A and B are shown apart, each in its own frame.
Chain A
Amino acid sequence: MEIPHSALRTPHFSPHFPRLHSAGILAYSRAMAVTDFDVHYVADLARLELSPEEERKFGAQLGQVLGYIEKLSQLDVSQVQPTAHAVPLLNVTRADETQPSLPNEEALRNAPAKANGLFLVPKIVE
C-alpha cells in the first residue's frame, strides 16, 4: 500500500525552554490555544468534580494542548488505516475451561462498604 508523504510545514513558534534557540519539534506557540473547550461538560462525562479554580486552570491548559494537537490536521490520512495495536496479534483465544478466580472475601477485602458478601452502593433506582 502506497503511503502518501504529507506536506510537512516547519512551524514557526517561539521557544519556551531557556536554552533553546530555534523552533521545530521542541516548541509550541501559546497563540494556538483552543478557547471554546467546555471543560465542565467533559468533566461531567468523565465523572470528575472540579472546583471553579480547576475548571478555569484546566480549561486554559487543555486549550493549549488542543491547540498543539491541531498540527495533526496538516496531514493527509485519507488512504491510511488506523493502528489500534502496534503488534499484529489476532484472535488470541483460550479453551473454554473454567479456572479458579478471585475468592469472594479477597474481592471484598478493599471494599469501602460491604455487607453479606456484597458491595454496598447508594440506591440507584427509586
Chain B
Amino acid sequence: MPNRLTLSELTARLAKRQVSARETLQACLDRVRQVDGQIHAFLSHDAADALAQADAADRALAVGANHATQPLLGVPISLKDVLAVRGQPLGCASKILAGFVSPYSATVVEKLQAAGAVLFGRLNMDEFAMGSSTENSAYGATRNPWDPTRIPGGSSGGSAAAVAADECIATLGSDTGGSIRQPAALCGVVGLKPTYGRVSRYGLVAFASSLDQIGPFAKDVRDAALLLRVISGRDPRDSTSVPDPVPDYVAALNGNIRGIKLGLPKEYFIGGLDSEVSEAVRAAVRRLEELGAEIVEISLPHTEYAVAVYYIVATAEASANLARFDGIRYGLRVDGPTPFDLYCRTRGAGFGAEVKRRIILGTYVLSSGYYDAYYLRAQKVRTLIRQDFLRAFEKVDLIVTPTAPTAAFKAGEKAEDPMQMYLSDIFTISCNLAGTCGVSLPCGFTRSPRLPIGLQLLGKPLGEETLLRVAHAFEQATPWHKERAPIG
C-alpha cells in the first residue's frame, strides 16, 4: 500500500512509474476513511481537490518532471490547521475562525507546492497551538494510533497521528514549546523543530512570535531532512528569518558519528522521570556510544525555571498576537451595543478555556505594576537559559534527553489540571527559549501497553546537519522506526 511507504521509498516508485500519484493519494484517502473515525487526526479534507493535484503530478511525471528538481512531486502531505493555504479553511481548531478562508498561502506552503507536493487536509491541533494533548481543539480531540484511549500529544497531535497511522506520507506542524517534538515522541514518529529563523513564519498563525517554528513530521530521519531542505530559507516576508544559506540536509546523512560529543544534562535525569522512559533513553545513549559518540555529562542549571519562563513569555506574546481576533474583520462576531461589548462577547464565545487562560495570564504579566516582576524578569531568566545552552555547546556537539517525561497518557488525565499539563513539556521547552534546534525520534516502547518512547537530540543554533546525521545514524542502527501503529 503506497500510503505506508516513506517519502524516499515513494518517490523512487513514482519515478519508476511503479505507482501513480493518484493511486498513492487514493490509498491515503482510503486509509483516512478506515481509521480517522477512531483517531480524528483530520478536521477536514477536500478529496476532489487533492485528486486533481495528484492527477496534475502524474501528468507532470509523464512529460519528464522528476524528483531532482521537484523532490516532493506526487507526495501526499497534510498540514496543521495553523498554516495558511490560499482558498482553504484556516481555523487553528478554534470557533473564532469558523468559516474563515485564507486569502493567501504561507511561504512553506508555496515551497511545498513548488516542490510538487499534493497537499490535502487540515490537521487537528490544540486551539491556537496552546496545549500538549490536542484535547483543547474546539472540534474534538485526536487520539493516539498506538492506543486510542490515549492522547497523541500536542499541540500538533493531528500532524503526528496522521503520519503514525499512515494517513499521509508526511505532515507539517508548529513548535512553540515542544508542539512538534512531544507529539512525535508520543506517536512514535520523527518530529523536527528547526532553529528559530531557519523556516519562514509567514503564513503561520502566530502564537508566540519569538518561539514559534514550523517543522516536519516524517516516518524517518531522511524524510525529515528532505522536508527541512524544501521548507527552509530566508524570506523577505518574515524579517525574523535568517539569511544563512540552506545546506543539503540529506547529503549530511553520511552515517559517520565517530568522535561526536553528546551531552547528558544531569538535571533531566533526576527523579520524576518514568522508569521505562529513562531505561529506553539510557539504552539509546549506550547504542550511540557503540556507534562512536562520546558521552559527556553536562549541566543546564536553569532547567527547573524553563516552564515558568515559558508560561510568562509565551502567554504574553500570545495575548498580543490574539488581540486581532475581535470580530471586526474576519471570523466569529457576537454583536453588542458597543465595540467593547462586541469584543468581549465575541472573544468570550469564540475562544476555548485554555486560550482564555493563557490570554489572561499573558495580559496580567504585561500589565502595569506587574511587567517588571514577571515579564522583564522572565526575559532575563531566558537569557540565563540560553547561556546554559551556549556554554554546553562549547563542550559538546549535541545534547541528548528524553523528549517527554512519560509515554502517552490517557485522555482526560490532565485536562483539568493545567499546571500538570504544562509540566509535560519540561524537556522540550528550553530549546524554544534558547532558539536552537531539536528533533525527537523513536527509541523504544513501554512494555504494556506498547507505547512509543521518544529520544530528543538538541543541536546548536543552525546545527541541523549534525543533529540529523546523529539522529539518522541512531535510527539506522535500531529497529524502532520500522514498527507501525497497530490501528486499522
Task: Enumerate chain A interface residues (CB-CB to B < 8 A).
Answer: 3, 5-6, 8, 15-17, 19-28, 37, 39, 42-50, 54, 57-58, 61-62, 64-66, 68-69, 71-73, 75, 77, 80-87, 89, 92, 94, 102, 106-107, 109-113, 119, 121-122, 124
- A80 closest partner in B (C-beta): B380
Contact of B272 among A23, A50, A72, A124 (CB under 8 A): A23
Query: What is the minimal beta-carbon distance from B199 to any residue of chain A, in angstroms?
Result: 12
Q: List residues of chain A with CB within 8 A of the CB of B307.
A: 25, 68
Q: List residues of chain A with CB within 8 A of the CB of B376.
A: 82
The stretch of B24-32, B128-136, B329-337, B466-474 in contact with A is: B329-337
**A86-B386, A87-B240 in contact; A24/B210 too (CB < 8 A)?**
no
Bound-complex Cα distance A113 to B347 (A): 17
Bound-complex Cα distance A87 to B461 (A): 9
Q: List residues of chain B with CB within 8 A of the CB of A89.
A: 197, 239-240, 242
Is B347 a contact partner of A106 (Cβ separation < 8 A)? no
- Give me 30 A-to-B residue pairs in the complex whose CB atoms sit less than 8 angstroms apart, sorted by A's number: A5-B301, A6-B384, A23-B271, A23-B272, A24-B304, A25-B270, A26-B405, A46-B319, A46-B360, A47-B326, A47-B347, A48-B348, A48-B359, A49-B348, A57-B353, A61-B419, A69-B311, A72-B309, A72-B377, A77-B380, A80-B381, A82-B379, A85-B196, A86-B386, A87-B461, A89-B242, A92-B239, A110-B331, A111-B329, A122-B335
Is B417 a contact partner of A16 (Cβ separation < 8 A)? yes
**A8-B301, A19-B406, A25-B303 in contact; A47/B344 too (CB < 8 A)?**
yes
Is B270 a contact partner of A24 (Cβ separation < 8 A)? yes
**Chain B residues touching A, range:** 35 or more
Q: List residues of chain B with CB within 8 A of the CB of A27.
A: 272, 423
**A8-B301, A112-B331 in contact; A83/B386 too (CB < 8 A)?**
yes
Is B272 a contact partner of A22 (Cβ separation < 8 A)? yes
Q: List residues of chain B with CB within 8 A of the CB of A107.
A: 103, 329
Q: List residues of chain B with CB within 8 A of the CB of A49.
A: 344-345, 347-349
B256 interfacial contact with A, CB 8 Å: no
Q: List residues of chain A with CB within 8 A of the CB of B304.
A: 8, 24-25, 71
Bound-complex Cα distance A109 to B405 (A): 45
B273 interfacial contact with A, CB 8 Å: yes
Is A75 a contact partner of B384 (Cβ separation < 8 A)? yes
| Most chain B beta-carbon contacts within 10 A, residue among A49, A62, A89 | A49
The stretch of B182-190, B283-291, B361-369, B452-460 in contact with A is: B361-369
Bound-complex Cα distance A122 to B380 (A): 42
- A114 closest partner in B (C-beta): B329
Supplied contacts A24-B304, A57-B353, A87-B435, 12 more A-B pairs, CB within 8 Å:
A27-B272, A45-B367, A46-B363, A48-B351, A75-B381, A82-B380, A83-B380, A86-B435, A86-B436, A89-B240, A94-B236, A110-B329
Bound-complex Cα distance A117 to B342 (A): 21
Which residues 343-357 in B have Cβ within 8 Å of A in the complex?
343-345, 347-349, 351, 353, 356-357
B47 interfacial contact with A, CB 8 Å: no
B374 interfacial contact with A, CB 8 Å: yes
The 6 closest A-B pairs by CB, nearest first: A86-B435, A22-B271, A49-B348, A26-B272, A82-B379, A112-B333
Q: List residues of chain B with CB within 8 A of the CB of A81.
A: 380, 383
Query: What is the minimal beta-carbon distance from B449 to any residue of chain A, in angstroms?
Result: 14
Bound-complex Cα distance A88 to B328 (A): 36
Contact of A84 among B326, B327, B357, B379 (CB under 8 A): B379
Is A24 a contact partner of B363 (Cβ separation < 8 A)? no
Contact of A65 among B329, B348, B384, B419 (CB under 8 A): B419
Is A75 a contact partner of B305 (Cβ separation < 8 A)? yes
Is B309 a contact partner of A121 (Cβ separation < 8 A)? no
- A105 closest partner in B (C-beta): B103
**A26-B272, A48-B344 in contact; A69/B103 too (CB < 8 A)?**
no
B114 interfacial contact with A, CB 8 Å: no
Bound-complex Cα distance A22 to B405 (A): 13
Is B272 a contact partner of A25 (Cβ separation < 8 A)? yes
Query: What is the minimal beta-carbon distance from B348 to any residue of chain A, in angstroms?
Result: 3
Which residues 361-417 in B have Cβ within 8 Å of A in the complex?
361, 363-364, 367, 373-374, 376-384, 386-387, 405-406, 417
B312 interfacial contact with A, CB 8 Å: yes
Bound-complex Cα distance A43 to B417 (A): 20
Is A80 a contact partner of B420 (Cβ separation < 8 A)? no
Is B197 a contact partner of A111 (Cβ separation < 8 A)? no
Is B272 a contact partner of A110 (Cβ separation < 8 A)? no
Q: List residues of chain B with CB within 8 A of the CB of A92.
A: 239-240
**A8-B301, A71-B304, A86-B435 in contact; A47/B340 too (CB < 8 A)?**
yes
B434 interfacial contact with A, CB 8 Å: yes
B99 interfacial contact with A, CB 8 Å: yes
B274 interfacial contact with A, CB 8 Å: yes
B426 interfacial contact with A, CB 8 Å: yes
Is A119 a contact partner of B406 (Cβ separation < 8 A)? no
